[in-house]
Chain A
Amino acid sequence: MSITVPNGTEKGVSEPQEMHIVLVAKEPERAYPALTLALGGVAMGRKVSVYATMSGLEVVKKHARPEEGITMSGMPPLEKFVRDAIASGVYVCACAPSADLLASMGITESNVIEGVKLEDVIGFLKNALPAAQKGGVVLFV
């Protein structure tokens, strides 16, 4: 289901502030906060992007059942967070220097969650640098 979340841009501000999150870990203690920030950012009306790389690539892999992926006691499966983030307009991508390297890390277009894009570092920088220049937030988790 495609969902458009209305932006919460305050009066007089033409564009929502952007938040770019780089996720380099798959441990629930880091991956959950990254996706919680992403959903929270959307709720606050911000434009949010998540770049998964290195161990963080595990977060964008799809599973037959979300419970087979990253989980944490008392929380929904992380795959639900990722799917809800994408459905609400968060740009989620898997980042590596090349498609071959991504494949060697077990990431192909066919095994990532629907809507996840494959990018390299330029794909990240071309969005994050202009955003930072305009007061956007870039976070490494």
Chain B
Amino acid sequence: MSEGGRTSGKNSSGEFDIKRIDTRGMVCPYPSFEAVRALSAALPGELIEILTDNEESALKSVPTVLGVRNVKCLVEAKEGYWVIRFSK
């Protein structure tokens, strides 16, 4: 489940596509864990999106684990889930 929801790469313009990790359906602490794992694997400037349907993870846990690494994020509420965006 942790690997299957990942998409990333460079587009034809040589710019990074957004690395999107779908953690919907995953339980704590996986949304936070996957966010940190994505941050670890990302290249500088790469934009990452974490999708989660866990409100606690979206509004508190993921921003917290990014915050201890001095990484700021934006959280957008969608229909039944949240998108957390950040870059390395």
Using CB atoms and an 8 Å cutoff, list the residues of chain A in contact with chain B: 3-6, 8-11, 36, 39-40, 42-45, 74-76, 84, 88
Contact of A6 among B1, B27, B39 (CB under 8 A): B39
Q: Which residues of A contact B40 (CB under 8 A)?
A: 3-6
Q: Which residues of B contact A42 (CB under 8 A)?
A: 33, 36
Answer whether residue B2 sits at the interface, using C-beta atoms and an 8 A cutoff: yes
Pick 25 A–B contacts, CB within 8 A, sort by A: A3-B37, A3-B40, A3-B41, A4-B40, A5-B36, A5-B37, A5-B40, A6-B39, A6-B40, A8-B65, A9-B68, A36-B28, A40-B28, A40-B29, A40-B32, A40-B33, A42-B33, A43-B33, A43-B36, A43-B65, A44-B65, A45-B65, A76-B30, A88-B33, A88-B37
Least CB separation from B26: chain A residue: A76
Do A6 and B65 touch (CB < 8 A)? Answer: no
Q: With A40-B29, A44-B64 given, name 18 new contacts (CB 8 A).
A: A3-B40, A5-B36, A5-B40, A6-B39, A8-B68, A8-B69, A10-B68, A39-B29, A43-B33, A43-B36, A43-B61, A44-B68, A45-B65, A45-B68, A45-B69, A76-B1, A84-B2, A88-B37
Q: Which residues of A contact B1 (CB under 8 A)?
A: 76
Task: List residues of B (13-58) whose CB comes within 8 Å of A's CBs.
Answer: 27-30, 32-33, 35-37, 39-41
What is the CA–CA distance of A40 and B30 in the complex, to the nearest angstrom?
8
**Interface of chain A, helix or strand or loop or mixed?**
loop
Do B65 and A84 touch (CB < 8 A)? Answer: no
Least CB separation from B39: chain A residue: A6
Q: Which residues of B contact A84 (CB under 8 A)?
A: 2, 33
Do B27 and A74 touch (CB < 8 A)? Answer: yes
What is the CA–CA distance of A72 and B65 in the complex, to the nearest angstrom?
26
Q: Which residues of B contact A45 (CB under 8 A)?
A: 36, 65, 68-69
